[in-house]
Amino acid sequence: MSPDTARPGWRATAPGAAADGDFRRFWWANTADALGTQTSGLALPLLLLALGTSPAVVGTVAGVSAGCGILAAPFAAVLADHGARKRVLVSAALVSAGAMTWVAVGALAGDPPLWQLCAAVVVERTATSCQEAASAGTVAVLVPPDRYPRAVSRLQAGEQAGLVVGPALGGALFQLGRWLPFLADALSYLASALCVAAMRADLRPRRDGPAESGSPTVSGAGLAAAGRSFLRELGAGAGFVRREPFLRFVVLWSTAMSLLLAALSYGTIFTLRDSGAGGGPVGAVLAVAGAAGLAGALLAPRLARALPGARLVIIVSWLMVAPTLGLALTTRIWAYALLFGAISLLLPAAAVVLQSRALEVTPQQLQSRTGTVLATATGLAAAAGPLAAGGLAGTGGTGRTALCCCAALVLLSLWCTARAPAVLRKETV
């Protein structure tokens, strides 16, 4: 079977080497974005804590900003699915670059007020959510279906590389100057915008079958009809997920994992800081976790070929329980690096299986909106993670976060063991 006919709905947007070049540009855009995000992602809570805010306030800022960003993502997804993908990607990256530049300038001038940091982070998070929503369908446009697992794995490897370098870079830059991590993030967004702008492929999705009714444009029906049409467009992705049992499974599993990982990440920062560790050691722990995640992403396609999808997802879910419990029992930096690294090593294999299959079952004209449903669910969970970690750290000690996450992982693994064989009967690779 040729790549062009591997699955209805995929089309080659550029011949051979040109298509590969566009995927490389897309990879560099995502990797640069991930590197900058991880660099400033460590520096932001450290900056807030240095300004005298409590862990609960730090968690609230992170959670509220993420929640605000989630609200804009569905609108960007509709625009992307209707042909504006490249414009959304470039514009959102430039807005994020401006927001991070504002934070860098404020930190360089002295102690920036909390309102300035909150406003900048909300703007950056909103733009980043739009960027993520628009990028959701790009792989399906650039890559034939038989290469989905490899493409997803490479993108995850780039993100994990950002996790390796970003936290260590962020911690080191923060010690040199509190404004430097945010400047680095602004430059990474600029690099991402340039890479996307240089892509030559037509990123508009192919529309199979009859055109969708109710394109979100103003016509003779007037503004009211256009508004109702746009609402239908927003709900198309959610309706498709609701009808597809596998996608429902992906949403629930990924949402739970997003909540737990966000809580564990912030719990790690709070625990190590309480034990006297500075930005450098905290960044090193997260960098080790990122290196393990990079190894896991590179190994994921091979594991996906060796094991049935359902078995792999179940095994990964159960294996994450033990290192999570270990995080609740230690405050040693080397132990945190080892245990958090084990979690990061395991997760990519299951993620590659689920994401590759999700690309296969979703029509191109719904890729961004369906991806946004997943991003919204996981984003809300990620927004709740810092809130939960901050609240648990403030009321019961930093170790309680990992203990609660361990209990939740046991419940998730039990549910996964019962449901995964039914929804993953078809091989994913």
Q: What ranges do the domains of the chain cover? A: 18-157+167-203, 234-428
CATH superfamily membership of 234-428? MFS general substrate transporter like domains (1.20.1250.20)
CA pair distance 326, 335, nearest whole angstrom? 8
Per-residue model confidence as pLDDT tens digits over 174-217: 888 888 999 999 999 999 999 999 988 777 766 554 444 444 44
Would 18-157+167-203 and 234-428 be classified into the same CATH topology? Answer: yes
Query: CA torsion angle for 429, 257, 191, 140 (degrees, to 10)?
Result: 30
Q: What integer pLDDT is reported at residue 234 of this predicted model?
A: 67
| pLDDT beyond 50 at 9 | no
Q: Which of 95-99, 135-139, 238-242, 294-298 bottoms out in mean pLDDT, i.e. has the lowest?
A: 135-139
The answer to whether residues 384 and 376 touch, using CB atoms and an 8 Å cutoff, is no
Arithmetic mean of pLDDT, 78-94: 85
| pLDDT beyond 70 at 160 | yes
Q: What integer pLDDT is reported at residue 417 of this predicted model?
A: 92
Q: What percent of the chain has pLDDT over 90?
A: 14
Number of H helices, E strands in the chain: 15, 0
φ/ψ bin of 198: left (φ > 0), alpha (ψ from -120 to 50), beta (otherwise):
alpha
**Token match 């960044």: residue?**
283
| pLDDT beyond 90 at 100 | yes
Per-residue model confidence as pLDDT tens digits over 50-80: 887 777 777 777 777 777 777 777 777 877 7
pTM given for the model = 0.67
By the 10 Å C-beta count (0-12 exposed, 13-18 middle, 19+ buried), 185 is classed as: buried
CA pair distance 105, 112, nearest whole angstrom? 9
Element (H, E) at 115: helix 114-135
Q: What integer pLDDT is reported at residue 279 of this predicted model?
A: 63
Q: What integer pLDDT is reported at residue 193 of this predicted model?
A: 93
The answer to whether residues 424 and 317 touch, using CB atoms and an 8 Å cutoff, is no
Chosen CATH of 18-157+167-203 out of 3.40.50.300, 1.20.1250.20, 2.60.40.4070, 3.90.76.10: 1.20.1250.20
With cut-offs at 50, 70 and 90, classify the pLDDT of residue 397. low
CA pair distance 310, 315, nearest whole angstrom? 9
